[in-house]
Structure 1
Amino acid sequence: MTVILAAKAFGANKICSADLLQKRLDFASEIGADATVLVQPDEDPESAAKRIIKAMGREPDITIECSGSPSATSTGIFATRSRGMLLQIGFSLDSVSIPLVVATVKELDIRGNHSSLNSYPAAIEAISSGKVNVKQLVSHRFPLEESEQAFTVAANKEGYKVVIDCSRPGEV
Protein backbone atom coordinates (compact mmCIF):
# COMPACT_ATOMS: atom_id res chain seq x y z
CA MET A 1 0.00 0.00 0.00
CA THR A 2 2.91 2.32 0.69
CA VAL A 3 4.01 1.87 -2.91
CA ILE A 4 0.63 3.16 -4.12
CA LEU A 5 0.97 6.28 -1.95
CA ALA A 6 4.53 6.92 -3.10
CA ALA A 7 3.78 6.28 -6.78
CA LYS A 8 0.84 8.67 -6.68
CA ALA A 9 2.84 11.34 -4.83
CA PHE A 10 5.72 11.13 -7.27
CA GLY A 11 3.65 11.41 -10.44
CA ALA A 12 2.41 8.00 -11.57
CA ASN A 13 -0.54 8.74 -13.82
CA LYS A 14 -2.28 5.36 -13.59
CA ILE A 15 -1.89 2.79 -10.84
CA CYS A 16 -3.30 -0.72 -10.87
CA SER A 17 -3.19 -2.89 -7.76
CA ALA A 18 -3.49 -6.68 -8.03
CA ASP A 19 -4.09 -8.80 -4.94
CA LEU A 20 -5.60 -12.04 -3.70
CA LEU A 21 -7.82 -10.26 -1.15
CA GLN A 22 -10.74 -8.04 -2.13
CA LYS A 23 -10.55 -6.01 1.10
CA ARG A 24 -6.98 -5.02 0.24
CA LEU A 25 -8.08 -3.98 -3.25
CA ASP A 26 -10.90 -1.89 -1.77
CA PHE A 27 -8.37 -0.13 0.44
CA ALA A 28 -5.99 0.29 -2.51
CA SER A 29 -8.79 2.13 -4.35
CA GLU A 30 -9.39 4.36 -1.33
CA ILE A 31 -5.76 5.46 -1.20
CA GLY A 32 -5.21 6.07 -4.89
CA ALA A 33 -5.24 2.98 -7.11
CA ASP A 34 -7.06 3.78 -10.34
CA ALA A 35 -7.78 0.14 -11.14
CA THR A 36 -7.74 -3.14 -9.22
CA VAL A 37 -7.57 -6.79 -10.21
CA LEU A 38 -8.58 -9.64 -7.94
CA VAL A 39 -6.14 -12.45 -8.74
CA GLN A 40 -7.07 -16.04 -7.96
CA PRO A 41 -4.50 -18.09 -5.99
CA ASP A 42 -4.18 -20.71 -8.74
CA GLU A 43 -4.48 -18.31 -11.69
CA ASP A 44 -2.05 -18.63 -14.55
CA PRO A 45 0.36 -15.63 -14.53
CA GLU A 46 -0.21 -14.93 -18.23
CA SER A 47 -3.98 -14.81 -17.69
CA ALA A 48 -3.60 -12.50 -14.67
CA ALA A 49 -1.32 -10.24 -16.73
CA LYS A 50 -3.93 -9.96 -19.49
CA ARG A 51 -6.53 -8.90 -16.92
CA ILE A 52 -4.15 -6.29 -15.48
CA ILE A 53 -3.45 -4.91 -18.96
CA LYS A 54 -7.20 -4.74 -19.65
CA ALA A 55 -7.85 -2.95 -16.34
CA MET A 56 -5.13 -0.39 -17.09
CA GLY A 57 -6.03 0.04 -20.74
CA ARG A 58 -2.44 -0.73 -21.75
CA GLU A 59 0.69 -2.50 -20.58
CA PRO A 60 2.33 -0.76 -17.63
CA ASP A 61 5.65 1.02 -18.17
CA ILE A 62 6.74 0.08 -14.66
CA THR A 63 5.53 -2.87 -12.60
CA ILE A 64 6.36 -2.96 -8.90
CA GLU A 65 6.02 -6.43 -7.38
CA CYS A 66 5.73 -6.28 -3.58
CA SER A 67 4.57 -9.74 -2.48
CA GLY A 68 7.56 -11.88 -3.33
CA SER A 69 5.28 -14.50 -4.84
CA PRO A 70 6.95 -16.30 -7.77
CA SER A 71 3.60 -16.27 -9.58
CA ALA A 72 3.27 -12.50 -9.07
CA THR A 73 6.78 -11.93 -10.42
CA SER A 74 5.90 -13.94 -13.53
CA THR A 75 2.66 -11.98 -13.87
CA GLY A 76 4.68 -8.77 -13.73
CA ILE A 77 6.97 -9.97 -16.51
CA PHE A 78 4.01 -10.87 -18.74
CA ALA A 79 2.20 -7.57 -18.00
CA THR A 80 5.03 -5.04 -18.38
CA ARG A 81 5.47 -3.37 -21.77
CA SER A 82 8.51 -4.09 -23.91
CA ARG A 83 11.54 -2.17 -22.64
CA GLY A 84 9.63 -1.44 -19.45
CA MET A 85 10.82 -2.04 -15.90
CA LEU A 86 9.93 -4.66 -13.31
CA LEU A 87 10.95 -3.52 -9.83
CA GLN A 88 11.05 -6.52 -7.48
CA ILE A 89 10.62 -5.36 -3.89
CA GLY A 90 9.06 -8.40 -2.23
CA PHE A 91 10.84 -11.69 -1.74
CA SER A 92 10.06 -14.98 -0.08
CA LEU A 93 12.33 -17.69 -1.47
CA ASP A 94 16.01 -18.03 -2.25
CA SER A 95 15.28 -18.65 -5.93
CA VAL A 96 12.28 -18.63 -8.23
CA SER A 97 11.49 -19.79 -11.73
CA ILE A 98 10.52 -16.93 -14.05
CA PRO A 99 9.71 -16.69 -17.78
CA LEU A 100 13.20 -15.45 -18.63
CA VAL A 101 12.71 -15.82 -22.39
CA VAL A 102 9.70 -13.47 -22.21
CA ALA A 103 11.69 -10.97 -20.12
CA THR A 104 14.60 -11.16 -22.58
CA VAL A 105 12.47 -10.81 -25.72
CA LYS A 106 10.66 -7.84 -24.15
CA GLU A 107 14.05 -6.39 -23.09
CA LEU A 108 12.76 -5.77 -19.59
CA ASP A 109 14.84 -3.92 -17.05
CA ILE A 110 14.45 -6.08 -13.93
CA ARG A 111 15.67 -4.46 -10.72
CA GLY A 112 15.69 -5.60 -7.15
CA ASN A 113 15.26 -3.22 -4.25
CA HIS A 114 14.72 -3.87 -0.57
CA SER A 115 15.07 -1.24 2.14
CA SER A 116 17.87 0.60 0.39
CA LEU A 117 19.59 3.03 2.75
CA ASN A 118 19.87 5.43 -0.18
CA SER A 119 16.09 5.79 -0.33
CA TYR A 120 15.57 6.73 3.33
CA PRO A 121 16.31 10.48 3.01
CA ALA A 122 13.79 10.88 0.18
CA ALA A 123 11.21 8.77 2.03
CA ILE A 124 11.63 10.75 5.25
CA GLU A 125 11.31 14.03 3.34
CA ALA A 126 8.19 12.85 1.51
CA ILE A 127 6.53 11.80 4.77
CA SER A 128 7.60 14.80 6.89
CA SER A 129 6.54 17.28 4.18
CA GLY A 130 3.11 15.66 3.93
CA LYS A 131 3.62 14.63 0.31
CA VAL A 132 2.99 11.02 1.37
CA ASN A 133 0.48 10.42 4.19
CA VAL A 134 1.35 7.06 5.74
CA LYS A 135 -0.93 7.58 8.75
CA GLN A 136 -3.87 6.38 6.69
CA LEU A 137 -2.20 2.96 6.44
CA VAL A 138 -2.46 2.31 10.19
CA SER A 139 -5.57 0.21 10.72
CA HIS A 140 -5.00 -0.98 14.31
CA ARG A 141 -3.25 0.36 17.43
CA PHE A 142 -2.54 -1.72 20.53
CA PRO A 143 -0.92 -0.92 23.87
CA LEU A 144 2.20 -2.93 24.69
CA GLU A 145 0.19 -5.14 27.05
CA GLU A 146 -1.90 -6.34 24.08
CA SER A 147 1.07 -7.21 21.86
CA GLU A 148 -0.04 -10.80 21.41
CA GLN A 149 -3.38 -9.66 20.00
CA ALA A 150 -1.57 -7.19 17.73
CA PHE A 151 0.60 -9.96 16.30
CA THR A 152 -2.48 -12.15 15.79
CA VAL A 153 -4.25 -9.36 13.87
CA ALA A 154 -1.15 -8.86 11.71
CA ALA A 155 -0.59 -12.60 11.13
CA ASN A 156 -4.24 -13.09 10.14
CA LYS A 157 -4.00 -10.14 7.71
CA GLU A 158 -6.92 -8.46 9.46
CA GLY A 159 -5.23 -5.07 9.21
CA TYR A 160 -2.91 -3.13 6.97
CA LYS A 161 -0.36 -1.70 9.38
CA VAL A 162 -0.62 -2.68 13.02
CA VAL A 163 1.05 -0.42 15.60
CA ILE A 164 2.10 -1.44 19.10
CA ASP A 165 2.33 1.63 21.34
CA CYS A 166 5.23 1.12 23.74
CA SER A 167 4.77 4.37 25.68
CA ARG A 168 3.67 4.23 29.27
CA PRO A 169 0.60 6.06 30.58
CA GLY A 170 1.46 9.71 31.10
CA GLU A 171 4.43 9.64 28.69
CA VAL A 172 4.42 11.71 25.57
Structure 2
Amino acid sequence: MAPVAETNSKAFSDLNLKDNLTLMATHEKKLELVTSKAPLPGPGQALVHVKATGVCGSDVHFWQHAGLGPWKIEDRVAVGHESGGVVLAVGEGVTNVKPGDRVAIEPGVPCFKATCDYCRKGSYNLCPEVDFYSVPPKDGTLTRYHVHPAGWLHKVPDSMSYEEIALLEPLSVTLQATILANIQLGNPVLITGAGPIGAVQLLCASAAGAFPIVITDLSQERLDFAKRLVPNVETYKIDTKKTPEEAAVEIRNAFTRACGHEPGTGNDCAPQISMECTGVESSIATASFATAPQGLVFVIGVGRDYQTIPFMHLSTNEISLKFLFRYRDTWPRAIRLVTGGKINVKQIVTSRFPLEKAKEAVEHAADRSKFSVKTIILDED
Protein backbone atom coordinates (compact mmCIF):
# COMPACT_ATOMS: atom_id res chain seq x y z
CA MET A 1 0.00 0.00 0.00
CA ALA A 2 1.15 3.52 -0.74
CA PRO A 3 1.83 5.81 2.22
CA VAL A 4 -1.02 8.11 3.21
CA ALA A 5 -0.64 11.81 2.51
CA GLU A 6 -0.04 13.77 5.70
CA THR A 7 -2.53 16.53 6.42
CA ASN A 8 0.32 19.00 7.05
CA SER A 9 1.92 18.37 3.66
CA LYS A 10 1.75 21.69 1.81
CA ALA A 11 1.97 20.07 -1.60
CA PHE A 12 -1.06 17.96 -0.92
CA SER A 13 -3.05 20.60 0.96
CA ASP A 14 -2.72 22.78 -2.13
CA LEU A 15 -4.54 20.05 -4.10
CA ASN A 16 -7.63 20.33 -1.87
CA LEU A 17 -8.15 16.58 -1.92
CA LYS A 18 -11.43 15.12 -0.72
CA ASP A 19 -11.85 11.96 1.30
CA ASN A 20 -10.83 8.92 -0.68
CA LEU A 21 -13.74 6.58 -1.47
CA THR A 22 -12.91 2.98 -2.39
CA LEU A 23 -15.19 0.03 -3.17
CA MET A 24 -13.97 -3.17 -1.54
CA ALA A 25 -15.05 -6.80 -1.93
CA THR A 26 -14.67 -8.86 1.24
CA HIS A 27 -14.01 -12.49 2.07
CA GLU A 28 -17.58 -12.57 3.43
CA LYS A 29 -18.91 -11.90 -0.10
CA LYS A 30 -19.92 -8.33 0.68
CA LEU A 31 -19.29 -4.96 -0.95
CA GLU A 32 -18.10 -2.10 1.26
CA LEU A 33 -17.58 1.55 0.28
CA VAL A 34 -14.82 2.74 2.61
CA THR A 35 -13.36 6.18 3.31
CA SER A 36 -9.66 6.96 3.80
CA LYS A 37 -7.09 9.68 3.20
CA ALA A 38 -5.57 10.12 -0.22
CA PRO A 39 -2.43 8.02 -0.83
CA LEU A 40 0.95 9.65 -1.44
CA PRO A 41 2.98 8.69 -4.53
CA GLY A 42 6.43 7.29 -3.90
CA PRO A 43 9.45 7.17 -6.23
CA GLY A 44 8.41 6.15 -9.74
CA GLN A 45 4.70 6.52 -8.95
CA ALA A 46 1.93 8.96 -9.82
CA LEU A 47 -1.24 9.94 -7.97
CA VAL A 48 -4.27 9.75 -10.27
CA HIS A 49 -7.72 11.15 -9.65
CA VAL A 50 -9.75 8.30 -11.13
CA LYS A 51 -12.54 9.94 -13.09
CA ALA A 52 -14.20 6.87 -14.63
CA THR A 53 -14.18 3.13 -13.99
CA GLY A 54 -16.02 0.38 -15.84
CA VAL A 55 -17.57 -2.54 -13.99
CA CYS A 56 -16.15 -5.85 -15.22
CA GLY A 57 -17.64 -9.30 -14.81
CA SER A 58 -14.59 -10.26 -12.77
CA ASP A 59 -15.44 -7.52 -10.24
CA VAL A 60 -18.85 -9.13 -9.80
CA HIS A 61 -17.28 -12.59 -9.52
CA PHE A 62 -14.77 -11.50 -6.86
CA TRP A 63 -17.64 -10.01 -4.84
CA GLN A 64 -20.08 -12.90 -5.18
CA HIS A 65 -17.54 -15.73 -4.79
CA ALA A 66 -14.79 -14.04 -2.72
CA GLY A 67 -12.36 -15.04 -5.43
CA LEU A 68 -11.82 -16.01 -9.04
CA GLY A 69 -9.96 -19.13 -10.13
CA PRO A 70 -6.76 -19.39 -8.09
CA TRP A 71 -7.15 -15.92 -6.53
CA LYS A 72 -8.96 -15.75 -3.19
CA ILE A 73 -9.87 -12.76 -1.03
CA GLU A 74 -8.36 -13.33 2.42
CA ASP A 75 -9.76 -10.14 3.99
CA ARG A 76 -10.89 -7.52 1.49
CA VAL A 77 -9.62 -6.04 -1.77
CA ALA A 78 -10.54 -2.97 -3.80
CA VAL A 79 -12.21 -3.95 -7.08
CA GLY A 80 -11.97 -2.25 -10.46
CA HIS A 81 -9.35 -2.25 -13.20
CA GLU A 82 -11.02 -0.42 -16.12
CA SER A 83 -10.03 3.13 -15.18
CA GLY A 84 -8.85 6.48 -16.43
CA GLY A 85 -8.33 9.88 -14.91
CA VAL A 86 -6.00 12.81 -14.46
CA VAL A 87 -2.56 12.94 -12.81
CA LEU A 88 -2.51 15.09 -9.66
CA ALA A 89 1.05 14.56 -8.45
CA VAL A 90 4.14 12.50 -9.23
CA GLY A 91 6.86 10.95 -7.14
CA GLU A 92 10.60 11.22 -7.46
CA GLY A 93 12.07 10.26 -10.82
CA VAL A 94 8.83 10.38 -12.83
CA THR A 95 9.27 12.04 -16.21
CA ASN A 96 6.73 10.37 -18.54
CA VAL A 97 3.66 12.02 -16.99
CA LYS A 98 3.01 15.26 -15.13
CA PRO A 99 0.16 16.83 -13.16
CA GLY A 100 -2.73 17.65 -15.44
CA ASP A 101 -2.15 14.79 -17.88
CA ARG A 102 -5.13 12.64 -18.79
CA VAL A 103 -4.10 9.00 -18.47
CA ALA A 104 -5.34 5.47 -18.93
CA ILE A 105 -4.32 3.02 -16.22
CA GLU A 106 -2.88 -0.26 -17.49
CA PRO A 107 -3.65 -2.47 -14.48
CA GLY A 108 -1.22 -5.34 -15.09
CA VAL A 109 2.30 -4.45 -13.94
CA PRO A 110 4.86 -7.26 -14.53
CA CYS A 111 8.12 -7.78 -12.70
CA PHE A 112 10.41 -7.11 -15.70
CA LYS A 113 13.26 -8.93 -14.01
CA ALA A 114 16.07 -10.13 -16.24
CA THR A 115 15.41 -13.65 -14.94
CA CYS A 116 11.75 -13.65 -16.06
CA ASP A 117 11.50 -15.47 -19.39
CA TYR A 118 8.04 -14.07 -20.12
CA CYS A 119 8.98 -10.44 -19.50
CA ARG A 120 12.24 -10.84 -21.41
CA LYS A 121 10.42 -12.32 -24.43
CA GLY A 122 7.73 -9.62 -24.41
CA SER A 123 4.88 -11.80 -23.10
CA TYR A 124 4.59 -9.74 -19.96
CA ASN A 125 0.91 -10.61 -19.49
CA LEU A 126 2.07 -14.12 -18.54
CA CYS A 127 4.61 -12.91 -15.95
CA PRO A 128 4.09 -15.13 -12.87
CA GLU A 129 4.87 -12.17 -10.59
CA VAL A 130 2.59 -9.66 -12.30
CA ASP A 131 0.76 -7.23 -10.03
CA PHE A 132 -2.72 -6.96 -11.47
CA TYR A 133 -4.63 -4.23 -9.71
CA SER A 134 -7.93 -5.70 -8.38
CA VAL A 135 -6.58 -9.25 -8.12
CA PRO A 136 -5.76 -10.13 -4.49
CA PRO A 137 -3.66 -9.01 -2.78
CA LYS A 138 -3.41 -5.95 -5.05
CA ASP A 139 -6.12 -3.33 -4.55
CA GLY A 140 -7.97 -2.22 -7.65
CA THR A 141 -8.74 1.16 -9.14
CA LEU A 142 -12.39 1.69 -8.19
CA THR A 143 -11.39 4.53 -5.93
CA ARG A 144 -11.20 8.32 -6.05
CA TYR A 145 -7.41 8.57 -5.71
CA HIS A 146 -5.11 5.81 -6.93
CA VAL A 147 -1.32 5.56 -6.82
CA HIS A 148 0.14 3.67 -9.80
CA PRO A 149 3.59 2.95 -11.25
CA ALA A 150 3.99 5.86 -13.66
CA GLY A 151 5.45 3.69 -16.43
CA TRP A 152 2.10 1.92 -16.70
CA LEU A 153 0.10 5.08 -17.23
CA HIS A 154 -0.67 5.96 -20.84
CA LYS A 155 -1.20 9.60 -21.78
CA VAL A 156 -4.27 10.24 -23.92
CA PRO A 157 -5.40 13.31 -25.89
CA ASP A 158 -7.53 15.88 -24.11
CA SER A 159 -10.25 15.19 -26.67
CA MET A 160 -10.87 11.73 -25.22
CA SER A 161 -13.63 11.53 -22.62
CA TYR A 162 -13.01 9.82 -19.29
CA GLU A 163 -15.51 7.12 -20.21
CA GLU A 164 -13.55 6.38 -23.36
CA ILE A 165 -10.32 6.25 -21.36
CA ALA A 166 -11.81 3.70 -18.94
CA LEU A 167 -13.08 1.57 -21.83
CA LEU A 168 -9.58 1.24 -23.28
CA GLU A 169 -9.13 -1.72 -20.92
CA PRO A 170 -11.91 -3.96 -22.31
CA LEU A 171 -10.94 -2.73 -25.78
CA SER A 172 -7.40 -3.94 -25.07
CA VAL A 173 -8.79 -7.41 -24.31
CA THR A 174 -10.62 -7.71 -27.62
CA LEU A 175 -7.90 -5.94 -29.57
CA GLN A 176 -5.40 -8.52 -28.33
CA ALA A 177 -7.85 -11.28 -29.25
CA THR A 178 -8.40 -9.81 -32.71
CA ILE A 179 -4.65 -9.67 -33.31
CA LEU A 180 -3.97 -13.21 -32.06
CA ALA A 181 -6.94 -14.65 -33.96
CA ASN A 182 -5.67 -12.88 -37.10
CA ILE A 183 -9.10 -11.59 -38.13
CA GLN A 184 -8.82 -10.16 -41.62
CA LEU A 185 -10.94 -8.58 -44.35
CA GLY A 186 -13.71 -10.89 -45.44
CA ASN A 187 -13.28 -13.51 -42.70
CA PRO A 188 -16.62 -15.01 -41.63
CA VAL A 189 -16.59 -14.55 -37.85
CA LEU A 190 -18.88 -15.93 -35.15
CA ILE A 191 -19.07 -14.14 -31.79
CA THR A 192 -20.70 -16.09 -28.98
CA GLY A 193 -22.00 -13.83 -26.22
CA ALA A 194 -23.26 -10.25 -26.66
CA GLY A 195 -22.23 -8.99 -23.22
CA PRO A 196 -19.59 -6.30 -22.63
CA ILE A 197 -16.68 -8.24 -24.12
CA GLY A 198 -18.79 -9.66 -26.94
CA ALA A 199 -20.00 -6.16 -27.82
CA VAL A 200 -16.47 -4.74 -27.98
CA GLN A 201 -15.29 -7.81 -29.87
CA LEU A 202 -18.04 -7.10 -32.38
CA LEU A 203 -16.72 -3.56 -32.84
CA CYS A 204 -13.18 -4.88 -33.32
CA ALA A 205 -14.16 -7.61 -35.78
CA SER A 206 -16.20 -5.13 -37.80
CA ALA A 207 -13.35 -2.61 -37.82
CA ALA A 208 -10.99 -5.37 -38.99
CA GLY A 209 -13.24 -6.02 -41.98
CA ALA A 210 -14.75 -9.36 -40.99
CA PHE A 211 -17.84 -10.35 -42.97
CA PRO A 212 -20.29 -11.81 -42.38
CA ILE A 213 -20.45 -11.61 -38.61
CA VAL A 214 -23.00 -13.53 -36.54
CA ILE A 215 -23.37 -12.86 -32.81
CA THR A 216 -25.27 -15.08 -30.36
CA ASP A 217 -26.78 -14.59 -26.93
CA LEU A 218 -29.60 -15.78 -24.67
CA SER A 219 -30.97 -12.24 -24.40
CA GLN A 220 -32.87 -10.68 -27.27
CA GLU A 221 -32.25 -7.25 -25.72
CA ARG A 222 -28.51 -7.74 -25.97
CA LEU A 223 -28.82 -8.99 -29.54
CA ASP A 224 -30.89 -5.94 -30.45
CA PHE A 225 -28.24 -3.76 -28.82
CA ALA A 226 -25.51 -5.49 -30.86
CA LYS A 227 -27.53 -4.80 -34.02
CA ARG A 228 -27.55 -1.11 -33.16
CA LEU A 229 -23.77 -1.17 -32.70
CA VAL A 230 -23.13 -2.86 -36.05
CA PRO A 231 -26.26 -2.80 -38.24
CA ASN A 232 -25.03 -5.45 -40.71
CA VAL A 233 -24.35 -8.07 -38.02
CA GLU A 234 -26.60 -11.13 -38.03
CA THR A 235 -28.00 -12.21 -34.65
CA TYR A 236 -28.93 -15.63 -33.33
CA LYS A 237 -30.80 -16.17 -30.08
CA ILE A 238 -29.69 -19.28 -28.22
CA ASP A 239 -32.46 -21.74 -27.36
CA THR A 240 -31.28 -23.78 -24.36
CA LYS A 241 -33.59 -26.63 -25.42
CA LYS A 242 -31.48 -27.20 -28.51
CA THR A 243 -28.21 -29.12 -28.48
CA PRO A 244 -24.96 -27.38 -29.45
CA GLU A 245 -24.99 -29.40 -32.69
CA GLU A 246 -28.50 -28.20 -33.55
CA ALA A 247 -27.67 -24.59 -32.74
CA ALA A 248 -24.49 -24.84 -34.83
CA VAL A 249 -26.45 -25.94 -37.90
CA GLU A 250 -28.75 -22.93 -37.59
CA ILE A 251 -25.80 -20.59 -37.04
CA ARG A 252 -24.14 -21.91 -40.20
CA ASN A 253 -27.39 -21.35 -42.07
CA ALA A 254 -27.37 -17.74 -40.86
CA PHE A 255 -23.86 -17.31 -42.28
CA THR A 256 -24.93 -18.82 -45.61
CA ARG A 257 -27.93 -16.49 -45.91
CA ALA A 258 -25.75 -13.50 -44.96
CA CYS A 259 -23.60 -14.40 -47.98
CA GLY A 260 -26.66 -14.29 -50.23
CA HIS A 261 -27.26 -18.03 -50.60
CA GLU A 262 -29.80 -20.53 -49.40
CA PRO A 263 -28.51 -23.36 -47.18
CA GLY A 264 -28.05 -26.69 -48.92
CA THR A 265 -27.54 -25.26 -52.42
CA GLY A 266 -23.81 -25.90 -52.54
CA ASN A 267 -22.71 -22.45 -51.41
CA ASP A 268 -22.82 -22.99 -47.67
CA CYS A 269 -20.74 -20.70 -45.46
CA ALA A 270 -19.33 -21.33 -41.99
CA PRO A 271 -17.27 -19.14 -39.67
CA GLN A 272 -13.53 -19.49 -40.16
CA ILE A 273 -13.01 -17.89 -36.75
CA SER A 274 -15.26 -18.13 -33.69
CA MET A 275 -14.64 -15.66 -30.86
CA GLU A 276 -16.06 -17.28 -27.72
CA CYS A 277 -16.85 -14.52 -25.20
CA THR A 278 -18.77 -16.39 -22.49
CA GLY A 279 -16.57 -19.18 -21.13
CA VAL A 280 -19.72 -21.33 -20.87
CA GLU A 281 -19.21 -25.00 -21.75
CA SER A 282 -22.27 -25.29 -23.99
CA SER A 283 -21.33 -22.09 -25.83
CA ILE A 284 -17.80 -23.36 -26.47
CA ALA A 285 -19.31 -26.57 -27.82
CA THR A 286 -21.69 -24.64 -30.09
CA ALA A 287 -18.80 -22.57 -31.43
CA SER A 288 -16.78 -25.75 -32.01
CA PHE A 289 -19.54 -27.41 -34.07
CA ALA A 290 -20.25 -24.21 -36.03
CA THR A 291 -16.64 -23.49 -37.03
CA ALA A 292 -15.41 -24.53 -40.46
CA PRO A 293 -12.78 -27.31 -40.79
CA GLN A 294 -9.26 -25.97 -40.16
CA GLY A 295 -10.87 -22.97 -38.49
CA LEU A 296 -10.20 -21.44 -35.08
CA VAL A 297 -12.20 -21.35 -31.87
CA PHE A 298 -10.72 -18.52 -29.81
CA VAL A 299 -11.86 -18.49 -26.17
CA ILE A 300 -11.88 -15.08 -24.48
CA GLY A 301 -14.51 -15.79 -21.82
CA VAL A 302 -13.71 -17.03 -18.34
CA GLY A 303 -15.45 -20.22 -17.21
CA ARG A 304 -15.29 -23.19 -14.88
CA ASP A 305 -11.92 -24.74 -14.06
CA TYR A 306 -12.75 -28.03 -15.80
CA GLN A 307 -14.98 -28.40 -18.85
CA THR A 308 -15.87 -31.00 -21.46
CA ILE A 309 -15.15 -30.13 -25.10
CA PRO A 310 -16.13 -31.96 -28.33
CA PHE A 311 -12.64 -33.38 -28.68
CA MET A 312 -13.18 -35.72 -31.64
CA HIS A 313 -15.07 -33.11 -33.66
CA LEU A 314 -12.26 -30.61 -33.15
CA SER A 315 -9.64 -33.26 -33.89
CA THR A 316 -11.15 -34.76 -37.03
CA ASN A 317 -11.82 -31.30 -38.49
CA GLU A 318 -8.41 -29.88 -37.56
CA ILE A 319 -10.09 -27.03 -35.69
CA SER A 320 -7.70 -25.14 -33.44
CA LEU A 321 -8.66 -24.17 -29.89
CA LYS A 322 -6.89 -21.11 -28.52
CA PHE A 323 -7.13 -19.01 -25.36
CA LEU A 324 -6.46 -15.46 -24.26
CA PHE A 325 -5.07 -14.14 -20.98
CA ARG A 326 -5.39 -10.37 -20.71
CA TYR A 327 -3.26 -8.33 -23.17
CA ARG A 328 0.13 -6.85 -23.91
CA ASP A 329 1.31 -3.81 -25.86
CA THR A 330 -2.25 -2.92 -26.85
CA TRP A 331 -2.82 0.43 -25.17
CA PRO A 332 -1.12 2.77 -27.70
CA ARG A 333 -2.99 1.04 -30.53
CA ALA A 334 -6.29 1.19 -28.63
CA ILE A 335 -5.80 4.91 -27.96
CA ARG A 336 -5.20 5.53 -31.68
CA LEU A 337 -8.31 3.58 -32.68
CA VAL A 338 -10.57 5.54 -30.31
CA THR A 339 -8.97 8.93 -30.99
CA GLY A 340 -9.18 8.37 -34.73
CA GLY A 341 -12.84 7.40 -34.58
CA LYS A 342 -12.21 3.88 -35.88
CA ILE A 343 -13.90 2.29 -32.88
CA ASN A 344 -16.66 4.12 -30.98
CA VAL A 345 -16.28 2.21 -27.74
CA LYS A 346 -18.48 4.49 -25.63
CA GLN A 347 -21.51 3.10 -27.49
CA ILE A 348 -21.49 0.09 -25.16
CA VAL A 349 -22.21 2.17 -22.02
CA THR A 350 -25.77 1.53 -20.83
CA SER A 351 -25.65 2.79 -17.21
CA ARG A 352 -23.80 5.46 -15.26
CA PHE A 353 -23.44 5.91 -11.50
CA PRO A 354 -21.53 8.40 -9.32
CA LEU A 355 -18.67 7.07 -7.20
CA GLU A 356 -20.77 7.54 -4.07
CA LYS A 357 -23.10 4.85 -5.47
CA ALA A 358 -20.38 2.44 -6.61
CA LYS A 359 -21.89 -0.39 -4.59
CA GLU A 360 -25.24 0.06 -6.33
CA ALA A 361 -23.45 0.20 -9.68
CA VAL A 362 -21.82 -3.20 -9.22
CA GLU A 363 -25.10 -4.65 -7.96
CA HIS A 364 -26.84 -3.27 -11.04
CA ALA A 365 -24.24 -4.80 -13.36
CA ALA A 366 -24.77 -8.16 -11.65
CA ASP A 367 -28.57 -8.07 -11.85
CA ARG A 368 -29.60 -10.22 -14.83
CA SER A 369 -33.20 -9.04 -14.48
CA LYS A 370 -32.14 -5.57 -15.66
CA PHE A 371 -30.75 -4.78 -19.11
CA SER A 372 -27.10 -3.85 -18.89
CA VAL A 373 -24.06 -4.10 -21.12
CA LYS A 374 -21.45 -1.79 -19.60
CA THR A 375 -21.87 0.13 -16.35
CA ILE A 376 -19.58 3.10 -15.72
CA ILE A 377 -18.82 4.75 -12.36
CA LEU A 378 -17.90 8.45 -12.56
CA ASP A 379 -16.21 10.92 -10.22
CA GLU A 380 -15.91 13.99 -12.41
CA ASP A 381 -16.42 16.75 -9.85
TM-score by length of 2: 0.43
SS of 1:127's partner is: helix
1:15 partnered with 2:198: no
1:81 maps to what in 2? 292
Residues 8-54 of structure 1: CA distance to partner in whole angstroms, max 9, x if unpaired? 00111111011000000001111115211110234311111111111
Q: Which one-letter code corresponds to 2:220 in the other structure?
A: Q
Residue 166 of structure 1 is matched in structure 2 by: 379
- In the alignment, what sits opposite 2:255? 56
Q: How many residues align?
A: 168
CA distance in 2, matches of 1:103, 1:125: 37
Paired with 2:216 and 2:327, the residues of 1 have a C-alpha distance of 24
How is 1:1-172 mapped onto 2 (pairs within 5 angstroms)?
A: 1-32=199-230, 34-57=233-256, 58-157=269-368, 158-167=371-380, 169=381
Which residue is 2:179 aligned to?
A: none
User: 2:240 aligns to what SS in structure 1?
Assistant: coil
Query: Could you tell me whether the CA contact under 8 Å between 1:139 and 1:161 is conserved in 2?
Result: yes
Q: 1:47 to 1:119 in 2, by over 3 A?
A: farther
Which AA in structure 1 matches 2:302?
Answer: F
Asked if structure 2 preserves the Cα contact closer than 8 Å seen for 1:90 and 1:114, the reply is: no
Secondary structure of 2:303's partner? coil
- Range 123-132 or range 68-77, more displaced: 123-132
For 1:62 and 1:105, how far apart are their aligned partners in 2? 17
Give the C-alpha shift of residue 103 in structure 1.
Answer: 0.3
Aligned Cα root-mean-square deviation (Å): 1.4
Q: CA deviation at 1:6?
A: 0.4
- CA deviations on 1:67-108 (whole Å, 9 max, x unpaired) are 000000000110000011111100211121000100011101
| Alpha-carbon distance in structure 2 between the residues aligned to 1:4 and 1:151 | 24
Quick one: which amino acid aligns to residue 30 of structure 1?
A: R
Distance 2:361 2:318 in 1: 44
**Which structure shows the bigger proportion of residues in strand conformation?**
2
**Higher deviation after alignment, 46-55 or 140-149:** 140-149
Q: When you count helix as a share of all residues, which structure comes out higher?
A: 1
Identity of aligned residues (%): 35
Q: Which moved more, 1:123-132 or 1:142-151?
A: 123-132
Deviation at 1:127, TM superposition (A): 2.0
Q: 1:108 to 1:120 in 2, by over 3 A?
A: farther
CA contact (8 A) 1:82 1:106 kept: yes
Query: How far does residue 124 in structure 1 lie from its aligned partner after superposition?
Result: 3.0
Q: Secondary structure at the match of 1:36?
A: strand
How many Å apart are 1:156 and its aligned residue? 1.2
Q: Distance in 2 between matches of 1:63 and 1:23?
A: 22
Give the match for residue 121 of structure 2.
none
Of stretches 33-42 and 81-90 in structure 1, the one that deviates more from structure 2 is 33-42
Query: Could you tell me whether the CA contact under 8 Å between 1:18 and 1:36 is conserved in 2?
Result: yes
Please tell me whether Structure 1 or Structure 2 has the larger radius of gyration of its CA atoms.
Answer: 2
CA contact (8 A) 1:88 1:110 kept: yes
CA contact (8 A) 1:63 1:86 kept: yes
After TM superposition, the structure 1 stretch with the greater mean CA deviation from structure 2, 9-18 or 122-131, is: 122-131
Q: Residue 149 of structure 1: CA displacement?
A: 2.2
Gaps (5+ residues) in structure 1?
none
Task: State the one-letter code of the partner of 2:377.
Answer: I
